[in-house]
């Protein structure tokens, strides 16, 4: 057990060498998970370059069936492992993450705790100091995980999206905060036990240390999902300012951590330069396109960015937008907007739900042209490539989640066609009111609309959701929670029978949705998912979901039942979590 010990100068020197040694080991230990993620990514890229899809997936039904025969040993399949790792962990509330993040966090926490306690002997102060140095050794990687640029070395090495790395950033931040907090509690206990708390608490080295720990705990508090979504500008502002300020506080605290402070400082500066170089000031038209929905439209010809959309974007990506002169400076005042258009549209359309702050300011200037600070694009760029490798694709969107789904759907239809024998596409979109679909379809060319009519079903979840509270004739409403019930979905109806008597405003909605399949009530996700898997047990099926958390969780459960039966599945749940 640790206790207070008196050391000679030689023993203190030996302790300092041991502290530095294990701090470097703790930093080097980060190479293990990095290699575990990098090697499969590089191997996958190599396979992609050396073998075509026809080499890896037989076209013959007999060969496909042979390739799906159960192995001699009942080992989990790759889709089963992937589905488990990407599923939500059992931890509640603010600690909620994926199973992959939870497992890596546990393993890394145990590794750091071991490096914090081993070879300390009974020396209480050795343990206390080791906790802080081990935590400080993680700072450069912690800052590297937050690096938001397409040229992030971690993105290039691992192939992970910035969103995945950001989840790891939050997990590592919690571990570092826990170690720093342990260091603080043990040192304060030492001051109390030896009777010097009143004196030491006023010394500048202790003041700077307490300030640094307080800053980290403050960043952790503002990073909670509830805080991020309600006060997004506060969350970003605290992270931008405190991420720099805490390095200064730690530098002033003690000299032994300065090497790690310098490393983290280099990453922080590189991050700022990357975001600055990827930001453009462009003219954008602001429109209100639905109930509490705001759209910013920028003509594509305006893009001159060396790193930005001048080089194009991919369906499913997003931008960071803010109105110039909107109050908050720099990156602090920007919100993420999904790109709801595709390259061929000739304009960049970004849609977001109004949640207060900067989005509310945009809504206040609707109908005007304003200068915008635009940064991006961000997000995975290989969604379309992934979908093209599947035999059947199902899209599920809820509300504004269509901003992610519809560009992918349009691009997929254009690339192969909904009637392609090798790949069939279906999509459902649940909205509260029929007016909520107009922004996505208005202005599309007839060819694009016809393609969507063949594959897209719109579910109006509110009984009075269409204009002036008129319900569809002959349509039945599902119970409020029927997305979780195994009930029969209502029969599709044409839009012209949905609206009996129409005003001028309703005519536009009716004309736009003419020919689309409209259903009243919530979609029955079990039926929808089962339908996608009912055609052949050898098809590779992709299911993409973007909507409320409950919709994604329910879809994951239904898809998981098919993965458990050995089906080859690509499942992606896009969550709109600010940060």
Give me the CATH number covering residue 339. 2.40.30.10
Length of the chain: 579
C-alpha dihedral (98, 99, 104, 105), degrees to nearest 10: 70
Answer yes or no: do 120 and 187 share one domain: yes
Question: Are both 250 and 282 inside the same structural domain?
Answer: no
For residues 558 and 525, the answer to whether their CB atoms sit within 8 Å is: yes
What pLDDT sits at residue 326?
56
Domain assignment present for 579:
no
The answer to whether 247 and 265 have CB atoms below 8 angstroms apart is yes
Is residue 56 domain-resident?
no
Report the predicted TM-score, pTM, of the whole model to 2 decimal places. Answer: 0.83
Please, what is the Cα angle at 324 between 346 and 280, to 5 degrees? 50
421 lies in some domain: yes
**Straight-line distance from the first to the last Cα atom of the chain, in angstroms, rounded to the nearest whole number:** 42
Is 65 within the bounds of a domain?
no
Q: Give residue 215's Cα distance to chain centre.
A: 25
Contact call for residues 377 and 309 (beta carbons, < 8 A): yes
pLDDT score recorded for residue 310 = 52
Residue after which a domain boundary falls, among 228, 253, 275: 275
Domain-embedded: residue 444? yes
pLDDT at position 497 is 44
Q: Tell how strand 279-290 and strand 293-299 pair up.
A: antiparallel
Closest CA to 370 of 298, 425, 421: 298
Closest CA relative to residue 69, chosen from 537, 535, 534: 537
Residues 252 and 107 in one domain: yes
The verdict on residue 322 lying in a domain is yes
Examine the domain organization and report whether 357 and 430 are in the same domain.
no
Asked whether residue 64 is assigned to any structural domain, the reply reads: no
Answer yes or no: do 474 and 538 share one domain.
Answer: yes
Q: Which of 347, 378, 409 is the last residue of a domain?
A: 378
Q: What is the DSSP string of 332-380?
A: GG-EEEEE-S-GGGSEEEEEEE--STHHHHHHHTTTSEEEEEEEEEES-
**Would you state the structure tokens that stand for residue 187, as one six-digit string?**
């040192």
User: Are 373 and 396 in a shared domain?
Assistant: no
Alpha helices in 223-350 (DSSP H): 225-230, 232-253, 258-277
**Per-residue pLDDT at 142:** 97
**Domain boundary at 378, 397, 432, which?**
378
> For each successive 10 residues of the chain (579 residues), what is the average pLDDT?
94 97 97 89 77 52 54 74 89 81 94 97 97 98 90 88 88 96 98 96 97 94 84 84 94 97 96 85 84 80 55 79 66 73 76 76 82 84 88 94 91 69 81 85 77 92 56 38 41 42 58 85 95 93 92 94 94 75
Residue 425: both structure tokens together? 């596409």
Q: 256 and 189 in one domain?
A: yes
Does residue 80 sit within a domain?
A: no
Residue entry with tokens 């190479």: 31
Q: Is the peptide bond before 377 cis (omega within 30 degrees of 0)?
A: yes
Q: How many domains does the chain have?
A: 3
Q: Give the integer Cα–Cα distance in Å for 101 and 170.
A: 10
**How do the residues of the chain divide into helix, strand and coil, expressed in percent and rounded to 5?**
55, 15, 30
Confirm if 529 and 498 have CB atoms less than 8 A apart. Answer: no
**Element spanning 393, H or E:** strand 392-398
468 and 556 together in one domain: yes
CATH number at residue 421: 3.40.50.80
pLDDT for res 336: 81
Instruction: Yes or no: say if 543 and 396 are a contact pair by the CB < 8 Å rule.
Output: yes
Angle at 14 between CA 9 and CA 16, to 5 degrees: 95
Same domain flag for 270 and 419: no
Question: Residue 468 has what pLDDT?
Answer: 38
Mark whether 271 and 283 lie in a shared domain: no
- The count of other CB atoms within 10 Å of the CB of residue 154 is 21
388, 423: one domain: yes
Residue numbers of the domain that contains 487: 383-574
Q: Are residues 154 and 257 in the same domain?
A: yes
Amino acid 483: pLDDT: 43
| CA distance linking residue 464 with residue 521, whole number of Å | 11
CB 350 within 8 Å of CB 296: yes
């Amino acid at each position: 057990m640790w206790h207070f010990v008196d050391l000679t100068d030689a023993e203190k020197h030996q302790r300092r060498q041991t502290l530095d040694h294990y701090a470097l080991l703790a930093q080097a230990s980060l190479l293990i998970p990095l290699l575990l993620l990098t090697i499969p990514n590089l191997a996958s890229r190599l396979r992609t370059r050396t073998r075509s899809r026809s080499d890896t997936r037989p076209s013959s039904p007999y060969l496909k069936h042979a390739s799906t025969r159960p192995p001699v040993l009942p080992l989990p399949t790759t889709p089963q492992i992937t589905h488990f790792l990407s599923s939500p962990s059992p931890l509640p509330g603010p600690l909620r993450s994926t199973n992959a993040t939870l497992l890596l966090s546990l393993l890394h926490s145990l590794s750091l705790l071991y490096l914090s306690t081993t070879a300390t002997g009974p020396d209480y102060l050795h343990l206390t100091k080791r906790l802080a140095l081990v935590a400080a050794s993680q700072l450069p990687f912690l800052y590297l995980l937050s690096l938001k640029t397409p040229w992030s070395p971690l993105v290039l090495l691992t192939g992970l999206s910035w969103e995945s790395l950001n989840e790891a950033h939050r997990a590592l931040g919690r571990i570092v905060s826990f170690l720093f907090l342990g260091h603080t509690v043990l040192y304060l206990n030492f001051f109390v036990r030896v009777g010097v708390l009143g004196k030491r608490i006023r010394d500048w080295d202790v003041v700077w240390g307490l300030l640094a720990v307080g800053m980290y705990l403050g960043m952790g508090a503002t990073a909670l999902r509830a805080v991020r979504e309600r006060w997004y500008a506060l969350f970003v502002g605290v992270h931008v300012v405190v991420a720099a300020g805490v390095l200064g506080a730690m530098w002033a605290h003690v000299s032994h951590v300065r090497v790690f402070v310098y490393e983290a400082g280099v990453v922080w500066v590189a991050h700022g330069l990357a975001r600055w170089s990827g930001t453009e000031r462009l003219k954008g038209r602001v429109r209100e396109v639905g109930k509490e929905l705001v759209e910013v439209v920028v003509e594509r010809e305006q893009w001159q960015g060396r790193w930005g959309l001048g080089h194009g974007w991919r369906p499913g990506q997003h931008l960071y937008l803010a109105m110039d002169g909107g109050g908050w400076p720099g990156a602090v005042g920007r919100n993420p907007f999904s790109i709801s258009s595709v390259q061929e549209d000739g304009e960049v359309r970004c849609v977001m739900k109004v949640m207060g702050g900067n989005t509310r300011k945009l809504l206040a200037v609707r109908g005007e042209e304003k200068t915008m600070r635009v940064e991006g694009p961000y997000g995975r760029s290989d969604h379309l490539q992934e979908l093209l490798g599947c035999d059947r694709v199902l899209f599920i969107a809820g509300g504004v989640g269509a901003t992610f789904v519809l560009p992918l759907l349009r691009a997929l239809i254009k690339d192969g066609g909904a009637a392609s024998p090798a790949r069939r596409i279906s999509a459902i979109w649940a909205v509260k009111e029929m007016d909520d679909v107009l922004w996505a379809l208005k202005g599309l060319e007839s060819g694009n609309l016809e393609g969507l009519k063949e594959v897209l079903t719109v579910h109006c979840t509110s009984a009075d959701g269409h204009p002036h509270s008129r319900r569809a004739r002959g349509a039945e409403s599902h119970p409020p929670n029927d997305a979780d019930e195994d009930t029969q979905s209502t029969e599709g109806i044409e839009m012209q029978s949905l609206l009996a008597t129409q005003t001028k405003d309703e005519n536009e909605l009716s004309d736009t949705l003419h020919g689309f399949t409209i259903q009243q009530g919530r979609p029955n996700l079990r039926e929808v998912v089962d339908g996608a898997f009912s055609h052949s047990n050898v098809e590779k099926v992709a299911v993409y979901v973007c909507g409320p958390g409950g919709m994604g969780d329910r879809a994951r459960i239904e898809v998981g039942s098919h993965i458990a039966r050995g089906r080859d599945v690509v499942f992606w749940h896009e969550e709109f979590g600010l940060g």
